[in-house]
Amino acid sequence: MKATLRSSYTNHYRVGLIKLLSVLEFRSNNTVHRPVLDALTLIDKYAGANLRYYPLDGSVPVHRGVSGDWAELVYQADKRGHRRVVRMVYEICTFQALRDQLRCKEIWVVGAEKWRNPAEDLPLDFEDRRVEHYGALRKPLDPTEFIDEVREQMRTELEALHTALPTCSWLEIKERRQGPIKLTPLPSVAEPRNLRKLKNQIQTRWGVVLLIDILKETVLRTGCLGAVTSVADRGTLPERVLAERLLLVIYAYGTNTGIGAVAGGAHGHSEDDIRYARRRYLNAEEARRIAIEIANATFAARRTTIWGESSTAIASDSTHFGAFDQNIFTEYHSRYGRRGVLIYWSVEKGSVVVHSQRLNCSASEVHAMVDGAIHHGTEMAVEANYVDTHGQSEIGFGITRLLGFDLLPRIKRINKVKLYRPAAGEPDLWPGLKPAMTRPISWTKIAEQYDQMLKYATAIRTGTASTEAILRRFMKANAAHPTYQAMIELGRAQKTVFLARYLRSRGLQREINDGLNVIESWNRANSIIFYGKNAELASNRRDEQEMSVLCLRICQAAMVFVNVLMIQDVLADPDWDGVLTADDERGLTPLFWSHVLPYGEVKLNMNTRLALSEIPPSV
């Protein structure tokens, strides 16, 4: 592998990297990484020279990248037996070390945005407004008070797990080769019998409904295009005409059929007209605002007698979208076995989407999970987030504890997880859990870095930088950083609290499983609506990809909104009084599409409406 990398670098990648090195200026706030910067200066100095080895009389900086397996390739003896540094191999090792330190922002780029000085990511007023920022996060100023709370919670939950262990028939903890924890899967639940009848009734009453009509009905009832169409009065384009063209744009992007295909429908708008409306009036920020307004309208329209009280929990997960190979933003994803990008969704338990984000395949899902809970922009207050294995980590547990919401994951290899002890000197406490127990938490590290951790949490809360940029500081490549170590310790403590609750509570396991079923159903709906071009992103422009994702989000949110109204109309019929059982109510969801037709010719008529009992606003 090293020989292949060296050949690829020498024959292809080196030319581009050397040119980048000549125009980018790298710096670091930590003297530990000074050797990497000195190595870059050396590489630049001899970039055009025809040398196999660096000169003997020169100083070659030694850094972490030239150690380990690479050392025998970097240092070789020449014909005279002198130990020399092989220039090409040294360059490869240096660029790899630079990559690792750029990822965790220990080295940064002057004048960059994403890769800027990490000090600029933090709130500049933190010192002056410390009390206010701590209050916003609902955290005590005294680290001892915070630590005592977490430690006591650990002790309480571990004691509860140990006490309940003999009665938990689904749980076994003992020494075994494949891991100490054995958790029996949840038993399957029978499909609610009356929900299929409810869906059939909806199709009988409204027939097969065109997706464009669902989108139109949502727009007319929520007024979500008002902020965009209101600017039309300043020109010659009537507001109603612009609304129709924006509907067609959203439909074209949301179904991935494209504006050219949509322009051939029965609506009276040419392709050039629709493209002009896209360029002039609809950007990612406006599309995101439209989606948020539909979500808020759905929350307002739901009747508590049917859907229950407003939820404070969301489920988050990613889905893979294929992309054309010539797209410079595509990456190969080993889990899906093909190239593309990831779309990370955050969906409320009632199937209302509150956030979406486009990710590269190599990106961590933890920062997207945090973004969906903190920066979703809707009226919902998020207090819990259900995720799958890829959406959680010890850093994730730590930062969510600081931000004030619960991370509730379904962990794939739960047999291998470990429970940390709240204090040292208690080896015989909780003997039933001993096979799964490990060392105590290092509370000293948390106490020393408490203020700094709160500063990073404040930066995420206030949005002084992207969550991804801030969490880059907490990567394994930066494992020696004291704040990273403290965040890991806090995450281990919080993860232990969660695991102790999760293992003993069948109800919590079911709750998390049901939440993740919502997001999995959402991902299945993606393929139904986003069907054009084999459901692959054709554009190599990031803004076009983002627009496709946001319009897909709008279309699905519109479908959920209209389905909520349809379900409420049907259940308002006296014939349905008392029909739904408790199991039916548990499985009731507005995310279904058996009555929706997203295909065929696009026919848009703003004068026809769906026959829903609630009186719509004036058109």
Higher pLDDT, 119 or 297: 297
Helix (H, G, I), strand (E, B) or coil at 496: helix
Beta-carbon contacts of 206 under 8 Å, excluding residues fewer than 6 positions away, are 566, 595, 610, 611
Measured CA to CA, the distance from residue 432 to residue 166 in angstroms comes to 9
pLDDT of 69 strictly over 90: no
pLDDT (mean) for 339-360: 91
pLDDT of 380 strictly over 70: yes
pLDDT tier at 615, thresholds 50, 70, 90: low
pLDDT (mean) for 267-292: 93
Token pair for 503: 């293992």
Mean pLDDT of the chain: 90
Across the strands, what pairs with 437?
419
Lowest-confidence region among 57-61, 117-121, 322-326, 329-333: 329-333
Dump pLDDT digits (tens) for 445-485.
999 999 999 999 999 999 998 888 888 888 877 777 899 99
Higher pLDDT, 26 or 359: 26
How many Cα atoms within 13 Å fall on the side-chain side of residue 328? 3
**Amino acid letter at 232?**
A
- Identify whether the C-beta of residue 398 lies closer than 8 Å to the C-beta of residue 470: no
Dump pLDDT digits (tens) for 162-189.
999 999 999 999 999 899 999 999 988 8
Question: What is the dihedral angle through the alpha carbons of 257, 261, 266, 267, rounded to the nearest 10 degrees?
Answer: 80
Counting residues of the chain whose pLDDT is more than 70, the rounded percentage is: 96
Among the ranges 51-60, 319-328, 494-503, 525-534, which has the highest mean pLDDT value? 494-503
Which one-letter DSSP state was computed for residue 546?
H
Higher pLDDT, 341 or 439: 439
pLDDT tier at 618, thresholds 50, 70, 90: very low
* Predicted pLDDT of residue 72: 86
CB atoms within 10 A of CB 44: 12
Helix (H, G, I), strand (E, B) or coil at 577: coil
Dump pLDDT digits (tens) for 196-249.
999 999 999 999 999 999 999 999 999 999 878 776 655 577 888 999 999 999
* Predicted pLDDT of residue 340: 84
* Predicted pLDDT of residue 232: 60
Domain ranges of the chain: 2-116
pLDDT tier at 617, thresholds 50, 70, 90: very low
What is the gyration radius of the CA atoms in the chain, in angstroms? 28
pLDDT (mean) for 290-304: 95
Higher pLDDT, 362 or 63: 63
| N-terminal to C-terminal alpha carbon distance within the chain | 65
- Identify whether the C-beta of residue 492 lies closer than 8 Å to the C-beta of residue 394: yes
pLDDT of 81 strictly over 90: no
pLDDT of 388 strictly over 80: yes
